[in-house]
Amino acid sequence: MSKVELISRRLLDKLQEQMSRSSTIYILTSFAMKSGVRLLKDSLRAAAERGADIKICVGDYLFVTQPEALRELISIHPDIEVRLYRSEGISFHPKAYLFEDAEGGYFIVGSSNLSRSALTDGVEWNLGLDKSVDEDVFAEAMEQFLKLFYAPETVPVNAETAADYEKQHQDYHQRHPNLARIWAENEEIELMLPTETEKKQEGETADKVDVVHETAAPYGTIQPRFAQVEALERLEAAYEEGYDKAMVVMATGLGKTYLAAFFARRFSRVLFIAHREEILRQAKQSFERVIPDRTAGLYDGNQKEGNADMVFASIFTLSMKKHLHSFRPDAFDLIIVDEFHHAAARSYERVLCYFQPKFLLGITATPDRSDNKDVYALCDGNVAYRIDFIEAVQRGWLAPFHYYGVYDDTDYSQIKWLGNRYDEEELLQVQLREETAEKILRAWKRYKKTRTLVFCSSIRQADFLSEYFQRHGCRTISLHSKQTAISRKQAIAMLERRELDAIFTVDLFNEGVDIPSVDTLLFVRPTESLTVFTQQVGRGLRLYKGKDYCVIIDLIGNYRNADVKLRLFDTQRGETKKKAREPVMPTVPETCELHLDVQAIHLLEEMQKKRQPRKERLLADYRELKQELGRRPTYLELHLQGRSEAAEYKQEFGSYVGFLYWAGELSELEEEVFLKHEPWLTEVEWTKMSKSYKMVVLKAMLERGPSAWHQPITPQQVALFFHRYLTEKEYRKRLDFSDKRTKSLWEYDEKKVSELIADMPMTKWSETSKGLVSFQNNIFTLRFSIDPKHTEVLYNWTKEICEYRLHWHFFDRKRR
């Protein structure tokens, strides 16, 4: 076989040949047709049955992909992962087929999508390259595929998302009947696609430069400081108490990576996972300083140093089955996932399900739930320690800030919203105006200090504003992935020496690189993500000699999240959360200042009044999670993986099932059960719990199964389960079984444990349940009848509420 070959006919034969022997099969196409899927169906199924790692990503651009094709793909084999790229009108036109086995690999890129004519007798050109031609390019292609496959723009294809796509597909073709007719007559047409717009990937493609501002000190001089001391104590306590997962939330600048290294000293083998090579290299340096007597190695697209004591691995490389299975499941004692808000838990699922470490640690600076709903699920909601930048500022661990909100009269409501960002071309039309640039320059000159980072939304905006500032006598540079005249390292050095006044950038400095001397931040982009905004604010808050505070200059317009972003600066964020409407002006730390233009205040007040009602927001968040899972989420899944916390559903609707009833999500039988047993569901949801005892008794009852769970039970029948549940985990024992009375029960004594259960919770619950439960003659009874046809439904709902409440009690209440 030629190592490089042109395939101009019958691509199908080449694909089937590769599928017959490959252990890794990745397919990326702009669209898929049922005819093409059926041609590959048998080959894909055979590969999946022998354990191949198969991932398929197709696009929805112009709704060419057929809904039937998506359904065909997910019906082939349950182990095949299929994701749909939501293009939102942006051109999406790749065609690539990647194969790898124990012997080598093969890469096909060209013109053929997943359709019969493209794979058989159509006029197509594709280039096939053997892996041996250039192994670096092959490795990069595999890694880039995985980054695209798990990009925020993609969704998993399942019954829910396929049905949703079909509705959009039908709507689009009803609005474009001529196109629909063409597709009906000819399965395919060649698409005239617009020019690809610039993608904001600077953070991924930037030159790999490590910027270190501290002199590497010998081992023994690096010790935990500030928040690291508290966080390390909490982590070690969590480990000693029997928790096997935890998350630490620490503001940018407080040393999350060093904290992880200090904690890692107690473990023999460590795996550190991140989404960017730059983060991996910097983490490796930090760990080597703290633990110099251990070996450290990189495991990414370029290097495979998997035998080291401390392995620093790219999630995209590690999620490939062949790399994952090169390690034993118990190969690592500690796994650390850094900045895991960047990828949904789905992309980590295979990795984290495979490994069996003694402890899993997730570290992040910005787990804002509205942006990053899965971060809590990754660590079962167990937050060992949390300190945001506001508290760190209050404690003197980060620099104070002076925030200036400058009114922006751009009408963002007229700019198309593409699901997670504004349409770039429409946004540029309003951004690239001289009058806008003049206003920005005027505000900057009025409030700035010495060294400025300017956060832009696109390369063209960064170039435009930098050139405008230069024309007005300012020393600036536009720094991004397409800048070749100066490196990032050089630009940072010039800014630090004050040879530059400002660097205009697009997401280059969100994370991974710190410039402590920066004392001015200028935001000239709409806040599309609260997480990104928080990261960017953190760029200016590091302590630095001579920096008394950081100036934040922010354009405020009627863009999404403008009326909620200021909550990030509020010292009373927790208290105001419960109020019907939060004040527009937050309460900032005493050392800080916050100023808003009068017009900006009026704008924010108007936006706040128009915010989506809570019920509608909760419904939208529920539907999004249902689509991701392909089914109705359980109560605990809703809590751990939904954008909104389960407590909000409980507060608004009385119970999760009450929400499902309101949303029309229940079957006829389920509605019948809910209407009859709503008092019981509400009781289980709301009964007061200073300890977990009520839910542990209920869990013991549920252990008897759907047909018998509701039968009467005695304390003696519960005692052994009750004792085992509360003593098998150290954290349960310390939280709920360590007072004066229960400490004496650590050694099982059926009589005394039964007496405890009879007193609390059985007697107490009987007294407060309004007659729903009773405890008489040593028998605990549910005092309502259950129709046999309702038993299983009520059992499942009761179990879901019980699991949620126990989880919240032992995990989530610690971070309240």
Q: Once rounded to an integer, what is the mean pLDDT over residues 620-641? A: 91
Please give the mean pLDDT across all residues of the chain: 87
Asked if residue 687 is part of any domain, the answer here is yes
Q: What is the pLDDT of residues 567-582, one digit of tens each?
A: 889 888 655 444 445 6
On whether both 726 and 677 belong to a single domain, the answer is yes
208: pLDDT strictly greater than 80:
no
Could you tell me which of 206, 211, 341, 336 has the C-alpha nearest to residue 273? 336
Asked if residue 216 is part of any domain, the answer here is no
Asked if 432 contacts 581 with a C-beta cutoff of 8 angstroms, the reply is: no
Confidence of residue 340 (pLDDT cuts 50, 70, 90): low
Phi, psi of 547 (to 5 degrees): -95, 110
440-445's contacts with Cβ under 8 Å and 24+ in sequence apart are 440/465, 440/522, 440/524, 440/555, 441/468, 441/469, 441/472, 441/474, 443/404, 443/406, 443/553, 443/555, 444/502, 444/520, 444/522, 444/553
Q: What is the pLDDT of residues 456-495, one digit of tens each?
A: 988 999 999 999 999 999 999 999 877 778 888 899 999 9
Could you tell me which of 349, 359, 373 has the C-alpha nearest to residue 637? 373
Last residue of one domain, picked from the residues 196, 215, 244: 196
* Type of residue found at 274: A
367: pLDDT strictly greater than 60:
no
Question: At a CB cut-off of 8 Å and minimum separation 6, what does 682 contact?
Answer: 654, 655, 658
Confidence of residue 26 (pLDDT cuts 50, 70, 90): very high
Q: What is the pLDDT of residues 276-325, one digit of tens each?
A: 888 899 899 999 999 999 999 999 877 899 999 999 998 888 888 889 99
Q: ∠ at Cα 229 (273, 386), nearest 5°?
A: 65
On whether both 296 and 416 belong to a single domain, the answer is no
Asked if residue 337 is part of any domain, the answer here is yes
Determine the pLDDT at residue 346: 64
Asked if residue 655 is part of any domain, the answer here is no
381: pLDDT strictly greater than 90:
no
On whether both 523 and 416 belong to a single domain, the answer is yes
Tell me how far apart the alpha carbons of residues 695 and 689 are, in angstroms, rounded to a whole number. Answer: 9
Tell me how far apart the alpha carbons of residues 44 and 73 are, in angstroms, rounded to a whole number. Answer: 9
How many helices and strands in the chain, by DSSP H and E?
Answer: 35, 24
Query: Residue 18 has what DSSP assignment?
Result: H
Positions of E strands within 606-708: none
Last residue of one domain, picked from the residues 593, 609, 625: 609
On whether both 499 and 562 belong to a single domain, the answer is yes
Asked if residue 458 is part of any domain, the answer here is yes
Q: Is 670 helix (H, G, I), strand (E, B) or coil?
A: helix
Tell me how far apart the alpha carbons of residues 622 and 643 are, in angstroms, rounded to a whole number. Answer: 8
Last residue of one domain, picked from the residues 594, 609, 624: 609
Q: How crowded is the C-beta side of 39, counted as CA atoms within 13 Å?
A: 22
On whether both 443 and 361 belong to a single domain, the answer is no
Confidence of residue 175 (pLDDT cuts 50, 70, 90): confident
Asked whether the CA dihedral 531, 535, 536, 541 is positive or negative, the reply is: positive
Token duo for residue 741: 């009375």
Asked if 638 contacts 656 with a C-beta cutoff of 8 angstroms, the reply is: yes
Determine the pLDDT at residue 222: 79
Question: At a CB cut-off of 8 Å and minimum separation 6, what does 786 contact?
Answer: 677, 710, 794
Question: Residue 599's domain spans which residues?
Answer: 401-609
Tell me how far apart the alpha carbons of residues 469 and 524 are, in angstroms, rounded to a whole number. Answer: 13
Determine the pLDDT at residue 345: 57
Q: At what angle do helices 791-810 and 693-702 cross, to 10 degrees?
A: 140
Token duo for residue 254: 């407080």
On whether both 382 and 416 belong to a single domain, the answer is no
Query: Residue 221 has what DSSP assignment?
Result: S
On whether both 409 and 522 belong to a single domain, the answer is yes
On whether both 420 and 460 belong to a single domain, the answer is yes
Burial degree of 305 (CB within 10 A; 0-12, 13-18, 19+) = middle
Determine the pLDDT at residue 364: 84
Tell me how far apart the alpha carbons of residues 297 and 305 are, in angstroms, rounded to a whole number. Answer: 5
On whether both 447 and 502 belong to a single domain, the answer is yes
Asked if residue 537 is part of any domain, the answer here is yes
Determine the pLDDT at residue 513: 61
Confidence of residue 179 (pLDDT cuts 50, 70, 90): low
Determine the pLDDT at residue 707: 94
Structural domains in the chain (count)? 4
Q: Which has more pLDDT, 762 or 420? A: 762
119: pLDDT strictly greater than 70:
yes
- Which residues sit opposite 773 in a β-bridge? 782
Q: What is the pLDDT of residues 210-220, one digit of tens each?
A: 333 333 333 34
Asked if residue 602 is part of any domain, the answer here is yes
Block residue for tokens 């399965």: 187
On whether both 798 and 707 belong to a single domain, the answer is yes
On whether both 435 and 381 belong to a single domain, the answer is no
816: pLDDT strictly greater than 50:
no
On whether both 13 and 88 belong to a single domain, the answer is yes
